[in-house]
Structure 1
Amino acid sequence: MDNFNTKRVKKSEIVQKVKEDKAKLRARKQEIKALPEAERTAAIEQDKQLRKEQKQQTKMELKALSRKDRRAMKKEAKRYKKIKNRPRRFTGWSIVALVVILLFVQFGATASSIIDALTGKHITAVTDSPEALAAREQGGKIAEEIANEGIVLLKNDDKQLPLKDKKVNVFGLAALELRYGGGGSGAGDTSRAVNLFKGLENAGISYNTELHDLYQEVGAKAGVGSKASTGVIQVVKGMLGGNSSDEPKIDYLSDEAIAQAKSYSENAIIVIASESTEASDATAEQLKLTANKRALIEKVAQSFENVTIVVNAGNALELGFVNEFKSIKSVLWIGTPGPYGANALGNILAGNINPSGRITDTYVYDNSSAPASENFGDYKYDNLKYSFLNYQEGIYVGYRFYETFFLNDEAGYRDTVLYPYGHGLSYTDFEWKVLNQSLSEDKIELQVEVKNVGDRAGKDVVQVYYSAPYIAGGIEKSAIELATYAKTSLLEAGQSEVLTLSFATEEMSSYDMNVEEAYVLDQGTYSIKVARNVHDIVASYDLELADKKVFKQDKDTGTPYENRFELAKGEVTYLSRNDWEKTYPSDENISHKAPQNVVDAFSKEPEASTMEMPTVGANNGLVLEDLKGLAFDDPKWNEFMDQFTLDEMIDYVANGAYRTMAVERLGVPKTLLMDGPAGFSYFFKPIEAASYPSEIVIAATWNNDLAYQMGEAVGKEARAYGIQGWYAPGMNIHRTAQGGRNFEYFSEDPVLSGKMAASMINGAEDQGIIAFMKHFALNDQETNARSGNLIWANEQAIREIYLKPFEITVKESSPLGAMSSFSIIGTKWAGANSVLLNDVLRKEWGFDGFVSSDAVFGFMKAPDAVVAGNDLMLDIMTPSKNEKLLKQAYKKDPAGITNGVRTSVQHVLYTILQTYLFEK
């Protein structure tokens, strides 16, 4: 931004400056457009060079300023950029038109494929049979139970909750339009959703109808209705930056309105919300209070004695304001709680249900204090068509950073962390007693008696963490890590329950990427901690290891460990607790020029296969059912697969969006595969189905049994509808608070994420359907994801943080499906990364299902996928393009492509044989 000084500038002046600069830019574009073609090119290059020089000049000027002036200038530049990039508002048919445009641009879709997509031609679910209705009703019950246990009581001073006076004033436009879920594939069916006010009524709570009527009038003027948009409309709005909402100016809250409300009740509820959606991330500003929201909170907090904040958001908002006002006595986090979340909220406010949820993220006063936030956003290469992300924080994600960085600085911790990971309160009190503890080199086991010593029934969560010995300059280790957890049943006042919590000692090992290329338990003291949250330790026990232990191979498959992601390490300095200051992440001096070896990797032609050409088109008289119960490598599979023609296999692989195709002559049935994590959905049109809270709320229950019950309910619904596959659960990590799909993923911690996902998958697959754990892997932000993000991360962080949830899930639930991510790990798209899909997923962990891509964009090509372990292309827009690419690749490498599609088809068919379609 040129000619911009460091004084405090009014917003109106910045707006005027933006208008002037935009006018100049439009005039310059017209000027260039009028030039002859040769001069036009030169002028564009000249302007580009001038912008670079101006940028460099600004950097030099910044360096010359005092620190105070530099901060001021950066702040004003940021305000300028925010106003300049403010999105236009799109509604109605303009959004529909943009959907079509985006399909053309993003996918290169044809008109016929767009029609197929928008009409859901292949979606044949039967949702109106008696079995379907019964399954949907059962799903609704489970959904409400999850909300009951997933809502978290963050604060409850003076035991304000449950409400003694069952009359409330409800403030905030967000109350008119609860966010039941996020946008995109994580958006469920909200046609039966209960709104906030109905939820209060159902729980026996009265609300101020005059205040509600006032908000209805204000909401109508602001365009806020009774139902939030979901699915494709919300995603498109997110891609355009149009998902941000704000409160209006509080002029409408006159003295008379406040007086009327106070005469009704001294109880005030303020709902604050933040949208989350697939395809766009939250800005840092969206997670803070806007000026209007702060004004509303100040007005209400200064006017009422008892204020409750309801947080309706799938991202971790900055909530430090709750401690600024004495009247804000309670805070309830409801996340994105599904269609019956309002019932759960009402019942918790009324005391009909005792809250038992625990948060799955660390809540801090300033989200930018997380080191990962330094490298989150839009980073593009100048010499490569892809974007990139540097995971410089290494293993120090979420609580792993805060608990380690502030290990010996409690005051600093309290100034930074508002609510620790795993925090949550109850209306009753629990007393814990560790009855037995057995710590050995093989297994850790604890028996904890939990007694309800309060005066009302409730559930409690026992969390077990460990601290491993850290050797300065050695393997990076968090000061504390989650090992396991358990939740009690409903305990009446005075009742107790003994929980047994155990885990293998090996699970405390860390990956040594520098010396052993294996998992290591260093010599020293391991502290096992029984805790209410990551920072509130109730009891601690020590295990002494006299000798270092090295685990050189996977204990289940026997596959040797080795560094498999050296190419993904890149030229990056990773954060180390051995020297926080010198290794702390920063994006100020990172290079936007891809190294030459990276550029070369994307232009390198694949080498032809040395494999033998398999038989095609044979007539061996076998049908798929003849293979039921046989191992994948049984010789009979070869006889069966020999019968496929090349065209059949290519068609099968390329047409894998929401289905697999039938091959009737070989007894291969078609299957229906459906989104999404919050209940069955289809991106382009509504599907009547049970709808569930988002996965962040499921994880907040800390209840594996409930996760299983949800998976089971989805599985039963699938059987009733005629669905065989479920694109869920989402298992990526909350790397930062800004992740657009954080609502759709469980946690910032891989252990909780993995165990929740495993439970959910066990429930679903016990009903004979295929669950697809996704997005495998390192799919932790939405910005640039669909145009190709190169992820640079070290081996230890990849294994311990980003792959760990998937590894736990494979080991504890044997999932039948996986969905590869958009991410380019090093220089290989995840769906074309044989190291990821074959060496790690299949060989090291023992996965024996099939892998589907995520929705296909231009850099995701079928010929690369089928030779690397990705079996189906989730390609609803350009299947004919991928068929063509496979046939072109076949001409160059007949044996390689034929073997690739053959193996892919076999993976899928082997999996289909394990579904309910082939039950006896």
Structure 2
Amino acid sequence: MSPRKERKQEAVARVAAEKAAKRERRAELKAMSPEARKAAKAADRTAARDAKKSAKAARKLERKSMTRAERRDARKRERVYRKVSHRPRRIVGWSVVAVAIIGIGALVAPIVGNISRLLSIEVDSTTAEGIAAREYGTELAGEISDEGIVLLENDGVLPLAEKTVNVFSFASFNLRYGGGGSGGADQSSAVTLYDALEQQGISYNPELQAAMVEAGASSETGSSNGLIQILSMLGGGGAEEPAPDYLTDDVMSQAAEFSDTAMVVLGNDGVEASDFTVDQLRLTDEQRELLDVVTGTFDDVVVVVNSGNQMELGFLEEYPEITGALWIGTPGPQGAVSLAKILDGEVNPSGHLTDTYAYDVSSAPGVENFGDYPYDNVDRALIEYEEGIYLGYRYYETRYAGDEAGYAEAVQYPFGHGLSYTDFEWAVAAQPVVDDQVGVEVTVTNTGDVAGKDVVQVYFSAPYTEGGIEKSAIELAAYGKTSLLEPGESETLSLAFDVRDMSSWSTELGAYVLEAGTYEIFVSTNVHAPVASFETEIADEVVYETDATTGTELENRFEDASGDLTYLSRDDWEGTWPDASDVATEASDELVEAMFPEFEAVDGDVPTTGADNGLVLADLVGLEYDDPQWDAFLDQMTLEEQTEIFAKGAYMTEGIERLGIPAAVLLDGPAGISYFFGDITAAAFPTEVVIASTWNDELAYAMGEAVGTEANAYGVQGWYAPGMNLHRTPLGGRNFEYFSEDPLVSGKMGAAMVAGAESRGVITFMKHFALNEQEVNARSGVHVWADEQAIRELYLRPFEITVTEGGASGAMSSFIHIGPTWSGGNEALLQEVLRGEWGFDGIVSTDAVLGAFMDPAQAVRYGNDLMLAVMPTSVASTIEAELEADPVGVGEALRERVHTVLYALTQTDLFE
């Protein structure tokens, strides 16, 4: 029996035994008197807590005596057990929407009206301006995929010496151009791999292609909206690679005669509302059989990795015949064209990875407690970010600092890895610290035979004191990319970053602290390959008590999210390693109370409504947010009108003709304009992980600007993008639509993209604010428990950069609860940090309102301006009841929400 089957059988037996014990106990309790039953339940809870503590202590003791392999096996067994025990809970929130739409005929009139409103949104993409914008966008998409593809391995096979190649795998017929859901895009114009090869003048083997077609391979054409993509995935998704029985001796013999080179495409699908398992990021048995057959015939095999998530790629080293490998991610509709140009040598690959590729994806500490953890006593779930700040390279570079053998065993491709067809030499000159900035100048010279671009990465290492603030052994501080350098040509990049960027959040002080000591600066080709280094001294400790942008006083704002957890520490890796079996699945009374907050009425004067001041919204264009004229205008609005604007925020805001308030169209998504409930003809771009892999901020800006130009042409005022969450683990179902595991790369790319779109007057809703790193239970409002240092240094940092450097005018709050509090009703997040510390003055919208936890009463009070409610009638009813109970507090809050929305609308093309 295979280890996988053994673990599953063990888990099934364990779950069955637990269920039997629960049934038996329920029968015992049922036979008791009410008083005895209550006492028995209390005793059971106490016994369960004591047993859990004892079991935890026993496990820690047991783990100390285990080998590494035994610990890994134990973790795998625990993950399989959780998967089996929680299987009935795997329900996707968007299916609720699907059921509502499918059952439309049976719904009452108000709900029919709500759906009709969604379906009434019209986007005209047929104008000359629209066509021109779309054509430019398609061209730009190709430039991005040209620079976003990463050359992982090359033993001389690339570029192809002969313009012939045998293309293997069913996956080659259907490249994954993008992901599914709201992050998807119109891929109807995508160029297939075979067409791209033909256009590039590379001959592929038609007889081999015919053999695969006869075996069942086919290309799927057309496009579908985000909802259809999700439902398709839930129904089984695309066809998987079959066993290569069709590759007979005759087929392989003919292929060997056709070309000496073979190419195999491998990949997987990512889609909103679903995450990956560890096994899904590994080769399937059929894919391995395919490689066995192909490498048995060819000595030069090129593997193309078509995945938006990190896969386990150790197999590349298992086959000596694999002499080249390219990661193309999910590269957009021009991705196959870019791939063909790279195979041919017309384009020199210059992409670099934005994630760490470990041999074992489950070795990342965040994987330990990723997934489904329901509370036992309330219909909610939780997840614990017990890894703290040790995400991605921050873990591997710190864990294996000074242990090259251990690092080489754990990491295959470091963060920032990427090869080229040419060679570069660097001359590095450290600059003195000036105006509290660390600077370097790097002169890059192309010493090879072909033109190419290079990426320079600058890292720092801060001094660490045992028992002090947790610190990664190394962090990215700055990066830059050269222009296209011809052989012999040089370019000097000047890179700088603030000294303050080397500080760390101190939960003890509620501030950022730059500790005294020696800081080492590395100029590197990837996080683990420094070309040069130098040191800078910080003589005295510096405590940064105020925000660098606004001067707002800093403090701990998320202490209630830390929970009673042990966070991973570099002082004791084994003793603090995340323990998924010790997740606190019983919500305390205090937590349950916080899940269902109650509000007290506010004393004071009820805001003025219904005044006749003779103003229309156009009269306020160009005025500052706090101009007194806004009060005069808002005084004119009725409570019903304000409620409509707040409640009807899904894809189109509510217009009020008598006040000159137009409706604004707000559409998805990060890879180009799309609409979750309908098909729109628009330019599609590579997904964000590919955009980030260009390490070219200018391309990110150009994409945002291109989308903004399209939006102007189509009559769209808001864009639900970019996705700013981190790749906490390789398992995230939406990793394709997020940039990186690193907050600086994510923030810089997001800021550039937002600035580009904002230059066209388009409201950009950076999302999902915040801590939305998994799909399991997200739509049921999962409670994320994390420490403030990790929240600030990692998960909020990309959003902060996007606000302060990119000028974001919109944000989308997430489904997630940060500790006890839902993000869309979280005063600390939306008011104190976003608006207070960072100075944000834009709109905050919820994500799609799919659960009762997305409480309008919280949202209106604590800074969430629009409810992205497919069914806004219920939202309006809630606000009406809240206004009746608290006319002053809710009246003032609702007025402020509407003020924010209208101020943003005045800065769009609706008022040009």
On whether the aligned pair clears a TM of 0.5, the verdict is yes
Aligned partner of 2:215 in structure 1 is 218
Pair 1:151-2:149 in alignment: yes
Equivalent runs, 1:635-714 vs 2, <5 Å:
635-714=628-707
Distance in 2, Cα, partners of 1:96 & 1:835: 28
- Cα deviations by residue, 1:585-613 (Å, 9 ceiling, x for unpaired): 11012221112211121244112223531
Aligned in 2, Cα 1:722/1:489: closer, same or farther, shift over 3 Å?
A: same
Assess if the C-alpha contact under 8 Å between 2:770 and 2:795 holds in 1. Answer: yes
Deviation at 1:631, TM superposition (A): 1.9
Aligned in 2, Cα 1:73/1:621: closer, same or farther, shift over 3 Å?
A: closer
Aligned in 2, Cα 1:458/1:641: closer, same or farther, shift over 3 Å?
A: same
Question: What is the SS of the residue equivalent to 2:386?
Answer: coil
Deviation at 1:236, TM superposition (A): 2.2
Aligned partner of 2:755 in structure 1 is 762
- Select which of 573, 576, 580 maps to 1:583: 576
Pair 1:551-2:548 in alignment: no
Aligned partner of 2:140 in structure 1 is 142
Aligned in 2, Cα 1:97/1:536: closer, same or farther, shift over 3 Å?
A: closer
Assess if the C-alpha contact under 8 Å between 1:358 and 1:702 holds in 2. Answer: yes
Equivalent runs, 1:785-824 vs 2, <5 Å:
785-824=778-817
Deviation at 1:574, TM superposition (A): 0.6
Aligned in 2, Cα 1:570/1:69: closer, same or farther, shift over 3 Å?
A: closer
Distance in 2, Cα, partners of 1:102 & 1:246: 31
Give the aligned residue type for 2:176: R
Pair 1:901-2:894 in alignment: yes
- Select which of 130, 133, 137 maps to 1:132: 130
Aligned partner of 1:92 in structure 2 is none
Deviation at 1:75, TM superposition (A): 6.7
Pair 1:320-2:314 in alignment: yes
Distance in 1, Cα, partners of 2:376 & 2:86: 21
Pair 1:177-2:191 in alignment: no
- Cα deviations by residue, 1:837-856 (Å, 9 ceiling, x for unpaired): 00000010000111000000
Equivalent runs, 1:375-386 vs 2, <5 Å:
375-386=369-380
Give the aligned residue type for 1:656: G
- RMSD of aligned Cα (Å): 3.7
- Cα deviations by residue, 1:699-727 (Å, 9 ceiling, x for unpaired): 00000000010011101101100111100
Deviation at 1:896, TM superposition (A): 1.4
Aligned partner of 1:166 in structure 2 is 163
Of 887-896 and 686-695, deviating more is 887-896
Pair 1:250-2:244 in alignment: yes
Aligned partner of 1:748 in structure 2 is 741
Pair 1:366-2:360 in alignment: yes
Distance in 2, Cα, partners of 1:229 & 1:721: 19
Equivalent runs, 1:514-529 vs 2, <5 Å:
514=508, 516-529=509-522
Listed as ranges, the gaps of 5+ residues in structure 2 are: none
Give the aligned residue type for 2:131: L
Distance in 2, Cα, partners of 1:576 & 1:15: 34
With structure 2 as the length reference, what TM-score do the two structures score? 0.91
Deviation at 1:509, TM superposition (A): 0.8
Aligned partner of 2:285 in structure 1 is 291
Assess if the C-alpha contact under 8 Å between 1:96 and 1:233 holds in 2. Answer: no
Question: What is the SS of the residue equivalent to 1:581?
Answer: coil
Aligned in 2, Cα 1:313/1:164: closer, same or farther, shift over 3 Å?
A: same
Question: What is the SS of the residue equivalent to 1:659?
Answer: coil
Distance in 1, Cα, partners of 2:787 & 2:10: 46
Assess if the C-alpha contact under 8 Å between 2:94 and 2:273 holds in 1. Answer: no
Aligned partner of 1:235 in structure 2 is 230
Distance in 1, Cα, partners of 2:251 & 2:554: 67
- Cα deviations by residue, 1:515-572 (Å, 9 ceiling, x for unpaired): x211111000111111101000011111011110111101221101100000101111
Give the aligned residue type for 2:593: D
Deviation at 1:864, TM superposition (A): 1.2
Distance in 2, Cα, partners of 1:706 & 1:9: 47
Give the aligned residue type for 1:735: R
Distance in 1, Cα, partners of 2:799 & 2:189: 33
Assess if the C-alpha contact under 8 Å between 1:182 and 1:230 holds in 2. Answer: no
Deviation at 1:238, TM superposition (A): 3.8
Assess if the C-alpha contact under 8 Å between 1:119 and 1:685 holds in 2. Answer: no
- Cα deviations by residue, 1:301-325 (Å, 9 ceiling, x for unpaired): 2221111110000100000010111
Distance in 2, Cα, partners of 1:200 & 1:307: 17
Aligned in 2, Cα 1:327/1:118: closer, same or farther, shift over 3 Å?
A: farther
Assess if the C-alpha contact under 8 Å between 1:103 and 1:109 holds in 2. Answer: no
Aligned in 2, Cα 1:508/1:70: closer, same or farther, shift over 3 Å?
A: closer
Distance in 2, Cα, partners of 1:230 & 1:689: 12
Give the aligned residue type for 1:647: E
Identity %: 52
- Select which of 186, 202, 215 maps to 2:183: 186
Aligned partner of 1:481 in structure 2 is 475
Of 839-848 and 580-589, deviating more is 580-589
Aligned partner of 2:844 in structure 1 is 851
Assess if the C-alpha contact under 8 Å between 1:239 and 1:279 holds in 2. Answer: no
Distance in 1, Cα, partners of 2:546 & 2:801: 16
Question: What is the SS of the residue equivalent to 1:192?
Answer: coil
Equivalent runs, 1:463-612 vs 2, <5 Å:
463-514=457-508, 516-612=509-605
Distance in 1, Cα, partners of 2:555 & 2:483: 42
How many equivalent residue pairs? 891
Aligned partner of 1:865 in structure 2 is 859
Equivalent runs, 1:833-852 vs 2, <5 Å:
833-852=826-845
Aligned in 2, Cα 1:546/1:81: closer, same or farther, shift over 3 Å?
A: closer
Aligned partner of 1:202 in structure 2 is 199
Aligned in 2, Cα 1:849/1:79: closer, same or farther, shift over 3 Å?
A: closer
Distance in 1, Cα, partners of 2:588 & 2:435: 45
Distance in 2, Cα, partners of 1:189 & 1:719: 18
Assess if the C-alpha contact under 8 Å between 1:117 and 1:684 holds in 2. Answer: no
Aligned in 2, Cα 1:83/1:173: closer, same or farther, shift over 3 Å?
A: farther
Aligned partner of 1:3 in structure 2 is none
Deviation at 1:124, TM superposition (A): 1.4
Aligned in 2, Cα 1:305/1:484: closer, same or farther, shift over 3 Å?
A: same
Assess if the C-alpha contact under 8 Å between 1:553 and 1:559 holds in 2. Answer: yes
Aligned partner of 1:420 in structure 2 is 414
Deviation at 1:825, TM superposition (A): 0.6
- Cα deviations by residue, 1:165-223 (Å, 9 ceiling, x for unpaired): 11111111111111110000111101111011111111111101111111112235xx8
Distance in 2, Cα, partners of 1:908 & 1:790: 28
Give the aligned residue type for 2:178: G
Deviation at 1:246, TM superposition (A): 3.0
Pair 1:723-2:723 in alignment: no
Aligned partner of 1:91 in structure 2 is none
Distance in 1, Cα, partners of 2:11 & 2:525: 53
Assess if the C-alpha contact under 8 Å between 1:119 and 1:684 holds in 2. Answer: no
Question: What is the SS of the residue equivalent to 1:297?
Answer: helix
Assess if the C-alpha contact under 8 Å between 2:387 and 2:578 holds in 1. Answer: yes
Question: What is the SS of the residue equivalent to 2:811?
Answer: strand
- Select which of 298, 304, 307 maps to 1:310: 304
Distance in 1, Cα, partners of 2:329 & 2:95: 32
Aligned partner of 2:328 in structure 1 is 334
Question: What is the SS of the residue equivalent to 2:210?
Answer: helix
Aligned in 2, Cα 1:508/1:225: closer, same or farther, shift over 3 Å?
A: same
Pair 1:830-2:827 in alignment: no
Distance in 1, Cα, partners of 2:734 & 2:502: 29
Assess if the C-alpha contact under 8 Å between 1:103 and 1:114 holds in 2. Answer: no
Distance in 2, Cα, partners of 1:821 & 1:787: 11
- Cα deviations by residue, 1:502-525 (Å, 9 ceiling, x for unpaired): 1111111111112x2111110001
Aligned partner of 1:627 in structure 2 is 620
Aligned in 2, Cα 1:792/1:611: closer, same or farther, shift over 3 Å?
A: farther
Assess if the C-alpha contact under 8 Å between 2:225 and 2:676 holds in 1. Answer: no
Distance in 2, Cα, partners of 1:362 & 1:380: 30
